[in-house]
């Protein structure tokens, strides 16, 4: 049994959906339990834009509704037999009317809460899963539409809700017990205990697939996307990037945490706990072998597995003589940021204990500064701590590989490659797992740093290995 997940990049035009149907048709013979699907490419962004336009009092949100209508109807007309089309279109339009009503409401009251936003973006997956279920049925693969809000339960952190695991696993098992036909499940969306619509965070459909897989104890979770698996670097940033055939859950977790968007970071956890391998495959090249993520890969392919990077980083520096030898400073900083709901991506502390540096997303910089300054109000007044310093327009780069821990000299090679490229490093951190060396450079240096590292660790190596990458 397996779960197949198709991302937005794999669904969006009638031609691509034809390919998706044929992949699922082939897999059906091997028994798939469920297909998880994201909104059609760009639809979630469109819904967010529509909601924001409506909230700002602009009637242009209507243009977005029209665009959405045309795109979805186009797929229905191209991919579903004429005799079924009117039924599918009628149902689609009924749901679209619901979206229109809620956007009109937002337009009238000029107010958009995170809860309403989640409800609005949920339409993307509701449309795509419904339409795909009919495309499949119409092609001779009987399938049902399954709204994940019926079984995935979360807390009320709208926009990026936490799954209530026990209840969700139980619900999934109950839901699937009776189902004989293939279920086409909405990715990304869920509901709270009170039944309000919530979402799992951008890119969250991968997570839906992993939760379903773990609850049902499948043999494999397949993530179908628009690249040949998890690659040595983002292929949009490093042209020479190539597919990593195998890697461990931990390596995949590090790479995704540091920006490899191909898999949403929380996805790895449920699969790892249940020991289910994840395969990343290319919808546009189904015969390619892709990437296999599992517990103990054979480890034949290099000490460093990949590079990833996150842009739009701000570096927060807290500095002052009052920090030396005083316990609990770091704890207070973390508490202040946690209370403001800000995620820390990287931390370094100078051994003099004179400074602590934190990397966070730029969009949180102002709030972070405010909450840390509030927490250290007294120390700032006494001048035992200097002002909290923010440096924006930074980028984090991470070099990841399980075998780094047993191989001396890797950090030396990383920094030599950067030094040779005359790239200035602003801050450095190495995880205690030693599976990851991460550092901060100016955003302007990102492309050069990635290329220099890729050349040093992969391109040259591939040439000498004769792998021809
Ligand atoms: P989907 O719509 O299928 O969920 P995403 O856009 O979320 O697809 O993720 C796929 C994209 O992730 C690729 O097109 C690629 O640009 C990007 N990406 C970033 N880092 C990596 C990496 N290391 N390997 C592969 N893809 C990556
Ligand atoms: N449609 C959602 C998004 O764009 C979820 C996903 O694609 O995984 O973020
Ligand atoms: Mg994605």
- Please enumerate in sequence order all residues whose Cβ is within 8 A of that of 418, keeping only pairs 6 or more positions apart, or say none: 425, 439, 441, 449, 452, 453
Which atom belonging to ligand 2 lies closest to the Cα atom of 208? 8
Q: What is the mean pLDDT of residues 63-92?
A: 97
pLDDT over 50 (residue 33): yes
pLDDT over 80 (residue 169): yes
pLDDT over 60 (residue 469): no
- Distance, in Å, from the CA atom of 466 to the CA atom of 224, rounded to the nearest integer, reads 29
pLDDT over 60 (residue 9): yes
Q: From the CB of 7, is ligand 1 less than 6 Å away?
A: yes
Q: From the CB of 46, is ligand 2 less than 6 Å away?
A: no
Ligand 1 center to residue 251 CA distance, Å? 16
Q: pLDDT band at 351, cuts 50/70/90?
A: low
- Distance, in Å, from the CA atom of 154 to the CA atom of 193, rounded to the nearest integer, reads 7
Q: What is the mean pLDDT of residues 408-420?
A: 90
Handedness of CA 353, 359, 362, 366 (dihedral sign): negative
Ligand 3 center to residue 411 CA distance, Å? 31
- Distance, in Å, from the CA atom of 376 to the CA atom of 389, rounded to the nearest integer, reads 13
pTM for the complete prediction? 0.92
> What is the percentage of the chain residues whose pLDDT exceeds 90?
79
Q: From the CB of 234, is ligand 1 less than 6 Å away?
A: yes
In the block, residue with structure tokens 């009987």: 142
Ligand 2 center to residue 76 CA distance, Å? 21
Task: Give, to the nearest 10 degrees, the angle between helix 82-109 and helix 43-55.
Answer: 30
Q: From the CB of 123, is ligand 2 less than 6 Å away?
A: no
Q: What is the mean pLDDT of residues 376-384?
A: 91
pLDDT over 60 (residue 126): yes
Q: From the CB of 290, is ligand 1 less than 6 Å away?
A: no
Which atom belonging to ligand 1 lies closest to the Cα atom of 283? 3
**Is 249 in contact with 293 (CB distance < 8 Å)?**
yes
pLDDT value for 29: 64
**Token pair for residue 271?**
């699969």
Which atom belonging to ligand 1 lies closest to the Cα atom of 205? 4
pLDDT over 80 (residue 30): no
Which atom belonging to ligand 1 lies closest to the Cα atom of 232? 23
Q: What is the mean pLDDT of residues 222-246?
A: 95
Ligand closest to CA 6: 1
Tell me which residue of 300, 234, 301 sits closest to 261, measured CA to CA. 234
Q: What is the mean pLDDT of residues 205-225?
A: 97
pLDDT value for 461: 57
- The closest residue, in CA terms, to atom 6 on ligand 2 is 203
Q: What is the mean pLDDT of residues 413-417?
A: 92
- The closest residue, in CA terms, to atom 4 on ligand 2 is 44
Q: What is the mean pLDDT of residues 368-397?
A: 92
Tell me which residue of 233, 235, 230, 260 sits closest to 454, measured CA to CA. 233
Q: pLDDT band at 467, cuts 50/70/90?
A: very low
Q: pLDDT band at 466, cuts 50/70/90?
A: very low
Q: From the CB of 37, is ligand 2 less than 6 Å away?
A: no
pLDDT value for 430: 72
Which atom belonging to ligand 1 lies closest to the Cα atom of 236? 16
Q: What is the mean pLDDT of residues 137-153?
A: 96
3-state secondary structure (DSSP) of residue 261: coil
Q: From the CB of 227, is ligand 1 less than 6 Å away?
A: yes
pLDDT value for 319: 87
Tell me which residue of 465, 55, 65 sits closest to 300, measured CA to CA. 465
Q: Is 422 left (phi over 0), alpha (psi -120 to 50) or beta?
A: left
Q: Of 348 and 454, which is predicted with more confidence? A: 454
Ligand 3 center to residue 379 CA distance, Å? 44
- Say how far residue 430 (Cα) sits from the centre of its chain: 23
pLDDT value for 300: 61
Q: What is the mean pLDDT of residues 285-294?
A: 95
- Cα separations in angstroms, 189 against 27, 129, 160, 212, 331: 25, 12, 10, 13, 34
Q: Of 60 and 327, which is predicted with more confidence? A: 60
**Is 143 in contact with 183 (CB distance < 8 Å)?**
yes
pLDDT value for 74: 97
């Amino acid at each position: 049994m397996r779960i197949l997940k198709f991302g937005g990049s794999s669904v969006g035009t009638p031609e691509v959906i034809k390919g998706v149907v044929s992949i699922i048709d082939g897999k059906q013979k091997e028994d798939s339990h469920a297909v998880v699907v994201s909104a059609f490419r760009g639809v979630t962004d469109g819904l967010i834009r529509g909601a924001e336009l409506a909230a700002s009092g602009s009637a242009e949100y209507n243009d977005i509704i029209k665009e959405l209508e045309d795109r979805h109807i186009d797929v229905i007309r191209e991919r579903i037999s004429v005799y079924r089309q009117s039924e599918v279109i009628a149902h689609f339009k009924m749901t679209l009317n619901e979206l229109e009503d809620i956007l009109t409401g937002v337009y009238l009251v000029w107010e958009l809460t995170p809860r309403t936003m989640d409800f609005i973006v949920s339409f993307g997956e509701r449309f795509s899963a419904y339409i795909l279920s009919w495309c499949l049925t119409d092609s001779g693969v009987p399938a049902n539409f399954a709204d994940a809000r019926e079984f995935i339960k979360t807390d009320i952190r709208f926009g990026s809700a936490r799954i209530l695991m026990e209840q969700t696993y139980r619900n999934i098992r109950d839901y699937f017990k009776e189902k004989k036909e293939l279920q086409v499940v909405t990715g990304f969306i869920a509901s709270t205990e009170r039944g309000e619509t919530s979402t799992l965070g951008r890119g969250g459909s991968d997570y839906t697939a992993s939760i379903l897989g773990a609850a049902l104890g499948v043999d494999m979770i397949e993530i179908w996307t628009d690249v040949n698996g998890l690659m040595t670097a983002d292929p949009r940033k490093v042209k020479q990037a190539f597919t990593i055939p195998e890697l461990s859950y931990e390596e995949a977790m590090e790479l995704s945490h540091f920006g490899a968007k191909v898999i949403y970071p929380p996805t790895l956890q449920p699969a790892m706990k249940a020991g289910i391998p994840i395969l990343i495959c290319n919808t546009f090249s189904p015969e390619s072998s892709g990437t296999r993520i599992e517990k103990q890969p054979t480890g034949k392919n290099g000490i460093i597995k990949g590079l990833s990077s996150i842009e739009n980083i701000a570096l927060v520096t807290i500095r002052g003589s009052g920090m030396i030898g005083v316990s609990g400073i770091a704890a207070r900083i973390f508490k202040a940021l946690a209370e403001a709901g800000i995620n820390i991506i990287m931390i370094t502390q100078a051994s003099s204990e004179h400074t602590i540096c934190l990397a966070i997303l730029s969009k949180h910089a102002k709030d972070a500064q405010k909450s840390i300054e509030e927490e250290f109000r007294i120390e700032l007044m006494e001048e035992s701590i200097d002002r909290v310093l923010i440096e924006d327009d930074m980028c984090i780069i991470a070099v990841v590989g399980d075998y780094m821990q047993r191989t001396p000299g890797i950090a030396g090679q990383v920094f030599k490659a950067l030094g040779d490229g005359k790239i200035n490093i602003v801050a450095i951190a190495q995880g205690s797992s030693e599976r990851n060396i991460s550092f901060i450079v100016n955003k302007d240096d990102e492309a050069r740093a990635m290329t220099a590292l890729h050349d040093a660790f992969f391109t040259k190596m591939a040439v000498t290995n004769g792998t021809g990458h």
